[in-house]
Amino acid sequence: MARIDSLPGARPAAYMVNCVHPSVFREGLSRQLAASPSLRTRVVGLQANTSRLSPEELDGRVELDSEPPDAFAREMARVNAELGTRLLGGCCGTDERHIAALASALTAGVPGDRHS
């Protein structure tokens, strides 16, 4: 981000991260926030995959590695609660079940919501 922000011209208003498991994102961003708290307002989104395997372990796999929708939703809700990341979606391994579980997890307990 520092390199991109230092380029001539308008700097991006915000950043998103793509295709990483929410637990990896949460751990990595949490460490970076200790050194640069402003990242909390600059990194606003995550399109997460559903595999806890490393990119090297995933590369060349014949079958998709995907965790259950409820586990994915819990991890994403934790990212939202702990880091304030507000644009949340799916990447590799997600389908409509994962997104529905995520929506339910994020709206549970919201006053006036049908899930309350």
pLDDT tens-digit profile of 64-106? 888 999 999 999 999 999 999 999 999 989 999 999 999 999 9
User: Any idea what the Cα angle at residue 21 is, between residues 68 and 109, rounded to 5°?
Assistant: 60
pTM for the model stands at 0.84
Q: Which of 17, 19, 20, 22 is nearest to 102 (CA)?
A: 22
The pLDDT tens digits for 3-35 are 888 899 888 999 999 999 999 999 999 999 999
Q: CA-CA distance, 1 to 44, in Å (whole number)? A: 13
- Quote the pLDDT of residue 113: 44
Structure tokens at 67: 């965790």
